[in-house]
Amino acid sequence: MYLSGRYNPSMKLQAALRALVDVTVGQWGMVTTAQASALGVSRVALSRLADAGHLERLAQGVYKDAGAPMDQHDDLRAAWLSADPSRLAEQRLGDGTSGVVVASTSAARLYGVGDFWADRHEFVAPTRRQSQRSSVRFRRRVLDGRDVTVVHGLPVMRIERTLVDLLDDLADQSLVADALDDALKNHAVNRERLGELLAPLAERNGFKKADGAGLLEKLLEGAGADVTSVARRIARDPELGARVVAEYDTVRQGTSAFSVGSSRRAPRPSGS
């Protein structure tokens, strides 16, 4: 009886693990050391839980429940959490333009566009930030609310801003054209906004100053999405061509009927 009531260190670790659930359940199974400390779970306890196989170290100061499913974006999420380790992900998602936002090649991977290899996670924020990790880079930027959204649970630059960042960072139109091709196939791309954002990069890419529309047309051509390329694809595909002709005839007939109806003069009032 005495032995069964003796102190068991594993009981304390189990209690710590249960306490962490309140945080990990809403953060992809992850918790930071700062968040754990607020729950009364020390760094030593986290280390012991990791040694026992209950937690996995993802990054400095970030752990993940070993029972939570793995995800291709775990490293990026851990890096984002470590940028403001005391606050919960749910709280930070409300920061909008005042918070840390995924950008450039990291954003492209979230969207699944292009084929970019990068050895660091890219973030932007309106205030100066630094990281001691070479795998994380912060850049200062005044953020526009039109360019920030949430993808896979992370705040990220919208697809238009991401494509522009890629061109700005990589200076390779062909790579960005490939990413644009993927974006057009899988996402709703606002071409007007994209042209607007491309304007500051036009001159260095061989176009007139502020000619974002011209640069966009060049990228669309590289992506095979400009008017001429689309017309050629239609011409090579008999079935698609027939559908386009049928749709055109339908629109034309509707326009003609409207024109005829509009041209009829209203009957004159009696006595006029």
pTM: 0.80
pLDDT at 7 over 50: no
Tell whether 142 is covered by a domain.
no
Beta-ladder partners of 155: 150
Tell whether 65 is covered by a domain.
yes
The first and second tokens of residue 108, run together, are 């492209």
Q: What is the pLDDT of residue 250?
A: 65
pLDDT at 202 over 60: yes
Tell whether 40 is covered by a domain.
yes
pLDDT at 223 over 60: yes
pLDDT at 272 over 50: no
Residue 79's CATH number = 3.90.56
Number of domains, the chain: 1
Tell whether 84 is covered by a domain.
yes
Q: What is the pLDDT of residue 100?
A: 97
Tell whether 174 is covered by a domain.
no
Which of 239 and 173 is assigned the larger pLDDT?
173
Q: Are 95 and 59 in contact (CB under 8 A)?
A: no
Instruction: In whole angstroms, give the CA distance from residue 244 to residue 97.
Output: 43
Instruction: In whole angstroms, give the CA distance from residue 258 to residue 236.
Output: 33
Question: Percent of the chain, pLDDT > 90?
Answer: 69
Q: What is the pLDDT of residue 66?
A: 94
Tell whether 41 is covered by a domain.
yes
Write the burial class of residue 216 (CB in 10 Å: 0-12 exposed, 13-18 middle, 19+ buried).
buried
User: Could you tell me the CA-to-CA distances from 57 to 46, 65, 73, 118, 258 in Å, in that order?
Assistant: 9, 9, 15, 21, 68
DSSP assignment string, 180-219? HHHHHHHS---HHHHHHHHGGGTGGGTS-TT-HHHHHHHH
Assign 3-state DSSP to the chain and report helix, strand, coil percentages, each to 5.
Answer: 55, 10, 35
Q: How many residues does the chain have?
A: 272
Query: 228 pLDDT band (50/70/90 cuts)?
Result: low
Tell whether 216 is covered by a domain.
no
- How confident is the prediction for the chain on average, in pLDDT? 85
Instruction: In whole angstroms, give the CA distance from residue 234 to residue 237.
Output: 5
Buried b (16+ CB within 10 A) or exposed e, 137-147: bbeebebeeeb
For residue 54, give its domain range: 15-92
pLDDT at 65 over 60: yes
Tell whether 19 is covered by a domain.
yes
